[in-house]
Amino acid sequence: MVKNKNTEVLINGLYDEEGNVFGSGEGGSNDGQIPGEDQGEAAETEVSLSQDELNALCRESVCPECDVHRAAEEVRLRALADSENLKKRLLRETEEMKKYAGESILADLLPILDNLDLALAHTGNLDGACKNFVIGVDMTRKLFLDAVKNHGLVAVDATRGGEFTPEVHEAVGTVEEGDLDDNRIVQVVQRGYMLKGRLLRPAKVMVNKL
């Protein structure tokens, strides 16, 4: 403590209230060092934190009830929900892509089935010599259908007298036949097919209109 006439000034860190230099008294043990010097160095060492730890402390220090915290939490939850929705959508699209991977190939094979059906539809006036040929064509068609059926391809239900359904049938014309009810299939012009529950090609039919 420095004494100047009637004024006493306490110099922080150097003198105690009695005017003695810290460390110079009987119980002193600082060897002339300024108090708090070692503690300051230790404190500086303890504050050495990583960026992640500093970010965690920053988040913990934000009051949960403040607007900034609520806005940040809303952004976090929204981003999390968008991420989950994107993950589900990608998974769904991947599964659908696997399920219908052969759609384009099977669609290209449909004209072969159409030609086989057409060949069998015009066998009524053939003589007996062509009977074995017709049987061969029919067996080929059945084998072909069994092969594509293993990949999920099935024919659309379309027969004469069946009900016309716009979801799976395509009307290419109308006729009037008294022996059938209105909106019934009169003739199947081209067969339709479905792939694993999804319409690949509608059946083209003639519809009865009274």
Based on the domain organization, do 129 and 175 belong to the same domain? Answer: yes
Average pLDDT over residues 126-135: 78
How far is it, in rounded angstroms, from Cα 57 to Cα 75? 20
- Per-residue pLDDT, averaged over 184-200, amounts to 92
For residue 56, is it within any domain?
Answer: no
For 169-207, b/e burial (b = at least 16 CB within 10 A) is: bbbeeeeeeeebeeebbbebebbbbbbeeeebbbbbbbb
Q: Is the pLDDT at 169 greater than 90, yes or no?
A: yes
Strands (E), the chain: 2-4, 7-9, 153-155, 169-175, 185-190, 193-195, 198-201, 203-208
Q: Are residues 89 and 179 in the same domain?
A: no
| For the chain, percent of residues with pLDDT exceeding 90 | 30
Q: Is residue 160 part of a domain?
A: yes
Number of independent structural domains in the chain: 3
As a whole number, mean pLDDT of residues 87-110 equals: 85
Residue 15 CB: number of other CB atoms within 10 A?
16
Instruction: Provide the pLDDT for residue 101.
Output: 78
Average pLDDT over residues 125-152: 85
Residue 203 placed within a domain: yes
Whole-number CA gyration radius for the chain: 45
Q: How far apart are CA 76 and CA 84, in angstroms?
A: 12
Cα–Cα distance measured from residue 91 to residue 77, given in angstroms and rounded to the nearest whole number: 21
Q: Do residue 196 and residue 170 come from a single domain?
A: yes
Provide mean pLDDT across the span 69-81.
84
Q: What is the pLDDT of residue 21?
A: 53
Q: What's the pLDDT band for 27 if we cut at 50, 70, 90?
A: very low
Q: Indicate whether 191 and 157 sit together in one domain.
A: yes
> Same domain for 85 and 111?
no
